[in-house]
Amino acid sequence: MTTNEFLAIVNENDEIISKAKRDEIHNSGKLHRETSILIVNQNNEILIQKRSDNNKLDYSASGHVLYNEDYKEAAEREIKEELGLTITKFNKIGKFKIKSNDQSKINNRFICLFEVKDDYKITDLKINKKEVKSIDYYSKSKLKEIIKNNPDLMCAGFIDLLNKYLEEQNDN
């Protein structure tokens, strides 16, 4: 992860209109692209990471889509970088426009949310300690409880999309 990487600036239709460095995009609140992945095991639990930078709960893996990438390519890169997994088959849940303010930055983005249904043992994952402090599986009911009672434990933007995801899943 670097602030010098180029990201696409997009319009309201998610069409590329220009490019800029990541820190410039966040400082100005320009609309850009991100990708997020939820890994769901056979017990219907979701792999959630605790981020190293802010100690908050977040997607299984996520990150910015670089200027020369599409959403799926970015998902493949991010899951490899953060968890050491090589995955090429993703179930696209949807694309959502989310805006949030984190500390001094404005994060205005389209997020393409992917799901991977597979059983990965936590001990087999090679987590990138620079980005991921820890990982664990959470039941959907536990995640709903955290959203309701302790939303400050989760990253901004993650709650909105997780709520949408959980609403579409009619089971716990």
pLDDT tens, residue by residue, 7-54: 999 999 999 999 999 888 888 889 999 999 999 999 999 999 999 999
Angstrom distance (rounded) from CA 108 to CA 83: 25
Residue 85 burial (C-beta neighbours within 10 Å; 0-12, 13-18, 19+): buried
Q: Confidence band (pLDDT; 50, 70, 90) for 172?
A: very low
Q: Confidence band (pLDDT; 50, 70, 90) for 162?
A: very high
Q: Which of 114-123, 129-138, 152-161 has the lowest mean pLDDT?
A: 152-161
Name the percent of the chain lying above pLDDT 70: 94
Interval 90-117: pLDDT, tens: 999 999 998 877 666 778 899 999 999 9
Beta carbons of 120 and 39 less than 8 angstroms apart = yes
Name the percent of the chain lying above pLDDT 90: 78
pLDDT of the residue at 98: 86
**Mean pLDDT taken over the chain:** 91
Q: What is the mean pLDDT of residues 48-70?
A: 95
Encoded tokens for 16 = 């590329």
- CATH number listed for the domain at residues 6-168: 3.90.79.10
Contacts of 137 (CB under 8 A, 6+ apart): 41, 43, 45, 46, 47, 48, 122
Angstrom distance (rounded) from CA 120 to CA 67: 30
